[in-house]
Amino acid sequence: MVVGMSGGVDSTAAAALLQKKGYEVIGMTMALSTPASRCCSEQDVHDARRMAHKLGILHYVIPMHGPFQERVIAYFASEYAAGRTPNPCAVCNPAIKFGELLRKAREAGGELLATGHYARITRDPGNGRFLLRRGRERGKDQSYFLARLSQEALGWTLFPVGGFPKAKIRGLAESLGLDVSRKRDSQDVCFVPDSGVLSYLESLRGSPFPPGPIRDRPGRLLGEHRGIAGYTIGQRRGLGIAAKNPLYVTGIDAESNTVFVGEEKELYGDACLASDPNWIAEGDIPETLRAHVRIRYKHRAAKALIEKRDGGTIRIRFDRPQRAVTPGQLAVFYRGDVVLGSAWIDSVLNLS
């Protein structure tokens, strides 16, 4: 059994739980070689190595700098340049953790790849498909970020901590004398330094993003932005505009290099178009499907009707308008605690 060890409490506890069940465990840690990274950093690699030694298991460090740069960071930069807000964790999981790392685990003869994600995998007795389910503790559930995984990846994956509350996992690690039991969880995008997204992206491209106009929807010029990569839908702070009522970013047009703003009521959308659906629970869906939809990780799932369209795209019609539906983010579809699938949000619609 191979465990992807990140150097944190969750993956360390996953390795310990599997050991207790009698598995022969091998630890693998990805090295991303990004100096500002708060995930898979040099310190995390060091912590993972120490925890593997503490558990008495073999441990290997797997260089992933090249694939991570090509598949995640390049995507991150190109999405912002296109006026969209990327979701790098949802891309990293299928491409890197359950792509490249899973391949390494299989080459090493691993029976399965286990990680410390808070989610669960079961199998549908009717159609035999692997089902991705929410983690038992809703506040820690990570199924949203795993909704791009394929059936093959799910079939080779195990989430040992997904059925436990976080407090119990920390308690287990502490009882075993594993000093990562109090290590803080990683937050936000793990590879962006404290200087912020705009500064990081400008360092990648080697030049500043051009400034441009900030306008309201009728087209009135209200100010100047510092580069579209520094803005996202729903943003209020940092606009530099004096107005009677609070203003929020309501749209970004990369072609004209324009940031649009408006009052909060303008943030709500009745529907959105989404592309590249990944269906998990079923190989396909009927022409229409009722589901609960999350449009970002912290979003409370909303009831919606999902409709097939030509070209493999779908339209998501919410029962009630949703705030700050954001192109580039992932829409994830649930029925109860089962992830039905996901698709990338392309545009927002107002049908009323």
CATH T-level topology, domain 2-182: Rossmann fold (3.40.50)
Does the domain at 268-349 match CATH 1.10.10.60? Answer given as no
pLDDT value of position 188: 61
- pLDDT at 186 (0 to 100): 64
36 pLDDT above the threshold of 60 = no
Give the model confidence (pLDDT) of 157-216 as tens digits: 999 999 999 999 999 989 988 888 777 766 567 788 777 899 999 999 999 999 999 999
- CA dist list (Å): 55 to 10, 48, 116, 156, 179: 14, 11, 16, 23, 12
Domain with CATH 3.40.50.620 in the chain: 2-182
Q: What pLDDT is stored for residue 352 in this prediction? A: 67
What pLDDT does 160 receive?
97
pLDDT at 274: 98
**pLDDT at residue 41 tops 90:** no
Where in the chain do CATH 2.40.30.10 domains reside?
A: 268-349
Of the candidates 345, 308, 310, the residue with the CA atom closest to the CA atom of residue 327: 345
Residue 280 has pLDDT above 60, yes or no: yes
Tell me: the pLDDT tens digits for 60-92? 999 999 999 999 999 999 999 999 999 999 999
Is it true that domain 209-262 has CATH number 3.30.300.30?
Answer: no
pLDDT tens-digit readout, 84-114: 999 999 999 999 999 999 999 999 999 999 9
Kindly report, as residue ranges, where domains of CATH 2.30.30.280 are found in the chain.
209-262
Please state, in angstroms and rounded to a whole number, the distance separating the CA atoms of residues 120 and 339. Answer: 10
* Higher per-residue confidence, 350 vs 344: 344
Total H helices, total E strands in the chain:
9, 17
pLDDT of residue 286: 87
In the set 39, 40, 89, 92, the catalytic residue is 92
Task: Output the average pLDDT for the chain.
Answer: 93
Rounded (10°) angle between helices 9-20 and 42-55: 20
**Which amino acid belongs to residue 84?**
R
Q: What distance lies between CA 296 and its chain's CA centroid?
A: 9
Percentage of residues of the chain with pLDDT beyond 90: 83
Q: Is a pLDDT exceeding 70 seen at residue 255?
A: yes
Per residue in 290-318, pLDDT (tens digit) is 999 999 998 999 999 999 998 889 999 99
Q: How far apart (Å, rounded) are the C-alpha atoms in residues 272 and 296?
A: 13
- The pLDDT score that the predictor gives to residue 187 is 58
At 39 the pLDDT is 61
Mean pLDDT across the stretch 231-240?
A: 94
Tell which wins on pLDDT, 225 or 180: 225
Would you call 190 a catalytic residue per the annotation? yes
The answer to whether residue 40 is catalytic is no
Of the residues 40, 89, 190, 272, only one is catalytic, namely 190
In this model, does residue 34 exceed pLDDT 70?
A: no
CA angle 11, 12, 15 (to 5 degrees): 85
